[in-house]
Amino acid sequence: MRSRPPQAPELPEPPARLWRPAEPKRGYDVVIVGAGGHGLATAYYLAQEHGIRDVAVLERGWLAGGNMARNTTIIRSNYLLDESAALYGHALDLWERWPTELDHDFLLSQRGVLNLVHTEQEIRDARRRVFANGLNGIDAEFVGPEEIAELCPVLDVSPHKRYPVRGATWQPRAGIAKHDHVAWALARRADQLGVDLIENCEVTGFVMDGARVAGVRTSRGDIAAGRVGLAAAGRTSALTETLGLRLPLQSHPLQAMVSELLEQVHPCVVMSNHVHVYCSQAHKGELVLGAGIDTYNGYGQRGSVHVLEQQLAAAVELFPMFARAHVIRTWAGVVDVTPDASPIIGPTPVEGLFVNCGWGTGGFKATPAVGRVFAHTVATGAPHPLNEPYGLERFRTGALIDEHGAAAVAH
């Protein structure tokens, strides 16, 4: 495995600015807090499907500079539980439609995802998940080591490893997409539909009219709003606490890394919950590796060294040839995690305030679907059928959507 020659052409980057710079008005019908994938997708669907175009998307930094720029680009829908399968399955359907609908090539590559298993119990769990996926219309199958070797020749499936690969689930429609291109595609379409995208505008609190949210307080002044939707990872609970509303969220660093540019050798996405690493190869050639969240709570955009060491050891266990690659960059985003490892999407007890948070490791892959259902919720004041199970009341009734480990990756 050798580094790509320096003179090799790189993929063209779109212009730095595809949308018009906007100055905040004194008021909007809807204000969305957070200009990442979820916030931009929500604004797009508010304008496109609900005809609500007096919308502002506020971002304290630069557009898509938060977790949208820090995720590992993986798209899949092979979740175990019915509620999860419905939401992520709808997302994958929309991912396939978006390049044409948004008129932007964001390099969707449906190269497939292998979720590896290493023990007898994991084999049983994986087969159960494949059967559940089939009942929900999700493409998935169980494959053995021989088939895995054909699908991903660079993966070591020899039986004498410390953690031998005993099999895997395989979802052919899964894959990756270039996250910054996705953000630019959404920003351009939202801008064309009349949405204001306002950067360097930090939301610090809310303007209240009695018990109702009537706007937001920002670093650029108060902005009135008929409805406010929160879609800011790592910030939602801090903002709702200013209203005395505590959400069942914990914030953790989630880190990843990339290698230098290499020849294309890794044909799909490989994930292992047991040795805990997931790895794909980006369009330009970097190996992209990630693992689980750091166990401590925090808002830092860097993580623990021991987590990096463990995921590198796991990667070399699965891909011995990668031992010769060099780590170029590591980073972390801040993810919010709920007690059942599933998001919160819906209205709050505070009139006029809606939340979309608690995604843990699942946020990017759900982007199209959550944008659509959150837009429906904000526009109508009531949940869409796909996000109705994800309301706050489930933590009171006990109707949890417990995806801990069920999706073949720990949260």
**Same domain, yes or no: 331 and 350:** no
Distance CA 61, CA 67 (A): 12
Model confidence over 110-147: pLDDT tens digits? 999 999 999 999 999 999 999 999 999 999 999 999 99
**Same domain, yes or no: 166 and 262:** yes
Last residue of a domain, one of 337, 363, 386: 337
**Same domain, yes or no: 115 and 238:** no
Residue 259 domain boundaries = 111-172+251-337
Identify the pLDDT of residue 15.
Answer: 47
pLDDT band at residue 308 under the 50/70/90 scheme: confident
Question: Residue 100 CB: number of other CB atoms within 10 A?
Answer: 9
Last residue of a domain, one of 311, 337, 363: 337
For residue 295, pLDDT over 60 is answered with yes
Model confidence over 189-217: pLDDT tens digits? 999 999 999 999 999 999 999 999 999 99
Model confidence over 20-38: pLDDT tens digits? 667 889 999 999 999 999 9
In a domain, 41, yes or no: yes
In a domain, 15, yes or no: no
Model confidence over 158-186: pLDDT tens digits? 998 989 999 999 999 999 999 999 999 99
For residue 4, pLDDT over 60 is answered with no
In a domain, 141, yes or no: yes
| Pairing mode of beta strands 250-259, 269-272 | unpaired
Q: Which of 368, 282, 379 is nearest to 101 (CA)?
A: 368
In a domain, 89, yes or no: no
- Burial code of 356-383, b = ≥16 C-beta within 10 A, e = fewer? bbbbbbbbbbbbbbbbbbbbbbbbeeeb
Identify the pLDDT of residue 306.
Answer: 81
For residue 12, pLDDT over 80 is answered with no
**Same domain, yes or no: 333 and 345:** no
Identify the pLDDT of residue 20.
Answer: 66
In a domain, 79, yes or no: no
Distance CA 337, CA 411 (A): 8
| Pairing mode of beta strands 141-143, 277-281 | unpaired
Distance CA 347, CA 205 (A): 18
Number of domains in the chain: 2
Half-sphere CA count of 264, side-chain side, radius 13 A: 8
CATH number (domain holding residue 214): 3.50.50.60
In a domain, 92, yes or no: no
For residue 11, pLDDT over 60 is answered with no
**Same domain, yes or no: 204 and 353:** yes
Task: Tell me the average pLDDT of the chain.
Answer: 91
**Same domain, yes or no: 158 and 47:** no
Model confidence over 56-88: pLDDT tens digits? 999 999 999 988 988 899 999 999 999 999 999
**Same domain, yes or no: 35 and 57:** yes
pLDDT band at residue 235 under the 50/70/90 scheme: confident
**Same domain, yes or no: 324 and 259:** yes
3-state SS class at 237: helix
For residue 409, pLDDT over 70 is answered with no
Mean pLDDT for 259-282 is 95
pLDDT band at residue 8 under the 50/70/90 scheme: very low
**Same domain, yes or no: 321 and 280:** yes
CATH number (domain holding residue 115): 3.30.9.10
**Same domain, yes or no: 279 and 333:** yes
**Same domain, yes or no: 35 and 157:** no
Cβ(74)–Cβ(365) under 8 Å?
yes
In a domain, 1, yes or no: no
Identify the pLDDT of residue 333.
Answer: 83
Q: Which of 208, 118, 204 is nearest to 166 (CA)?
A: 118
Identify the pLDDT of residue 3.
Answer: 37
**Same domain, yes or no: 236 and 377:** yes
In a domain, 406, yes or no: no
Percent residues over pLDDT 70 in the chain: 92
For residue 407, pLDDT over 60 is answered with no
For residue 304, pLDDT over 60 is answered with yes
For residue 40, pLDDT over 90 is answered with yes
Cβ(175)–Cβ(111) under 8 Å?
yes
5-to-9, 86, 164, 260, 266 alpha-carbon distances in Å = 9, 44, 35, 11, 18
Last residue of a domain, one of 322, 337, 352: 337
Identify the pLDDT of residue 84.
Answer: 96
Identify the pLDDT of residue 252.
Answer: 87
Choose the weakest-confidence range: 122-126, 159-163, 222-226, 354-358: 159-163
